[in-house]
Structure 1
Amino acid sequence: MTIRRGTHIIHTVRPGDSVFYLAQRYDSEIDAIVEANGLYPPFNELYMLEPGQVLVIPKTIATEIENYYVVQYGDTIGQLANRFNVEPELLSGINRTIHNPDYLDANQQILLPSFIYEVERGDTLANISQRTGIPIETILRANFNRPAISEDVIYEGIQIIIPLPNSENIVVLLPLPGTEIHDGATLEGFARTFEGNVLYRLVDANNTVVTEESFTTTRYGAPSYSQFLDQIEFDREPTSPLGELQVYSRSAQDGSIQDLVQVRVWFNS
């Protein structure tokens, strides 16, 4: 499973855009943009762009796994939340540059809870969905207006936007869905929870509890969304290759689980 590290810009083509211009604007390379988006036959004439077409643009130098969507005139938080399968409040809350969720500035870049998967030979959307636990419909909606991506055929080297699992108050950035994890793996995300408490546990497909309920805290407490970070320690060995990381909070009134986020993971064989 090939995860594209680094920073990616999700740009909607406008009249007059060219691959050369976009490479310069976003500190990328022409060949990287062409390969990531299938800007070649049979999807496009070589280097040809159509207004409205959505591109994934890899930045040349970047150290973080981050994707930024470039706001278009008329975009709203509600529309983007539906398109990229993220709760509207969470999308607004993790972007400190959004001062008024009812108004977005054209050309504003907003952090999108997602990752970029590079298609390998033999891949289908069905097996990518099975590996990551992200429904095909969710993947297709996030990649709307990308001609090289369809439910029937995808080609090696194309880069696909895959939304991250989230709830209204929690999104998990690491581990990424569909990746292998090990004892001591990094847990990272954003949350807005009572007293900043974030709980998690890890189970395998046989319902063996690999990591008993543990907790970490966000940098700041509610009402703001804030980052959390911890190491996932195994309490026992997995009994199957497939697992699920469950990240959540508990009600201050009755202790019930709230804001459950489920991330499909795999264990080292």
Structure 2
Amino acid sequence: MTIRRGTHIIHTVRPGDSVYQLSQRYGSDVDSIVEANALYPPFTDLYMMEPGQVIVIPKTLLTETETLYVVQYGDTISYLSNRFSLEPELLIGINRTIHNPDYMDVNQQILLPVFIYEVEPGDTLADISQRTGIPIDNILQANMNRFGISADTIYEGVRIIIPLSMSENIVVTLPLPGTIIRDGALLEGFARTFEANVLYRLIDSNETVVIEESFTTARYAAPSYSQFLDNLEFDQEPTSSLGELQVYSRSAQDGSIQDLVRVRVWFSS
């Protein structure tokens, strides 16, 4: 499974845009943009883009692994949340540059809690969905108006936008859905929780508890969203290849689980 690290820009093509201009604007290169978006026959003439088409632009310098969306005229928090299967308050909360949720500047770049997957030979959307636990419909919705991606066919080398699992108050950015994890793997994300407490546990498909309920803390407590970080230290060895990381909070009133986020993970054999 090829997860693409580094920074990616999601750009909606406008009249007059060219692949070369976009490569210069966003610090990419022409060949990478062409390959990532199937800008070649039989989908289109080489380098050809259409206004309204959405493309994924990989930045050449591998710095942070994040995906930034370039706001276009008419975008709203509601539209972006529906398109990328996001929680509206969480999207606002992790973007400190969104000062007014009712207004975003055209060309403003905002952080999207998604990740980028590069299609491998023989991949199908059904395979990717089964591997990651992300519904096919969510993947298709996130990749509207893109060449080389449909319910029936995807093409090697194209980079697909895949939404992350989240609740209203928690999103897990590592480990990514569908990836292999080992003892000591990094746990990372954003949370808005009471007293900044973030709880987690790890189970395998045989219901073996690989990590008993543990906790870490976000940088700030609610009402702010802030980053949390920890290492996943196994209490027991997994007994199957498939697992589920559960990240959540508990009610201050009755201790019940709230904001449960389920991330499908795999264990090395």
| TM-score, normalised with respect to structure 1 | 0.99
Task: Look up the match of 1:236.
Answer: 236
Indicate conservation of the 8 Å contact 2:205/2:242, yes or no.
Answer: yes
Structure 1 residue matching 2:255: 3-state secondary structure: coil
1:195 Cα shift? 0.3
Structure 1 runs (4+) deviating above 6 angstroms are none
Indicate conservation of the 8 Å contact 2:13/2:55, yes or no.
Answer: yes
Unaligned runs of 5+ in 2: none
Partner Cα distance (1:86, 1:132) in 2: 17
2:54 matches 1:54: yes
Partner Cα distance (1:75, 1:235) in 2: 46
Task: Look up the match of 2:227.
Answer: 227
Indicate conservation of the 8 Å contact 2:39/2:147, yes or no.
Answer: no
| TM-score, normalised with respect to structure 2 | 0.99
1:201 Cα shift? 0.2
Please give the per-residue CA displacement for 1:212-252, whole angstroms capped at 9, x wherever unaligned.
Answer: 00000001111110000000010001011000000000000
Letter in 2 for 1:205: S
Structure 2 residue matching 1:247: 3-state secondary structure: strand
Quote the RMSD (CA, aligned, Å).
0.5
Partner Cα distance (2:34, 2:125) in 1: 21
Unaligned runs of 5+ in 1: none
Task: Look up the match of 1:195.
Answer: 195
**What count of residue pairs does the alignment treat as equivalent?**
269
2:228 matches 1:247: no
Please give the per-residue CA displacement for 1:132-153, whole angstroms capped at 9, x wherever unaligned.
Answer: 0000000000000002101111
Partner Cα distance (1:191, 1:246) in 2: 14
Task: Look up the match of 1:84.
Answer: 84
Indicate conservation of the 8 Å contact 2:10/2:54, yes or no.
Answer: yes
Task: Look up the match of 2:127.
Answer: 127
Task: Look up the match of 1:214.
Answer: 214
Query: What percentage of aligned pairs have identical amino acids?
Result: 79
1:62 Cα shift? 2.6
The 5-angstrom pairing of residues 87-98 of structure 1 reads 87-98=87-98
2:169 matches 1:165: no
Task: Look up the match of 2:138.
Answer: 138
Structure 2 residue matching 1:200: 3-state secondary structure: strand
Please give the per-residue CA displacement for 1:54-78, whole angstroms capped at 9, x wherever unaligned.
Answer: 0000001032210000001110001
Structure 2 residue matching 1:141: 3-state secondary structure: helix
Partner Cα distance (1:144, 1:229) in 2: 33
Partner Cα distance (1:160, 1:40) in 2: 17
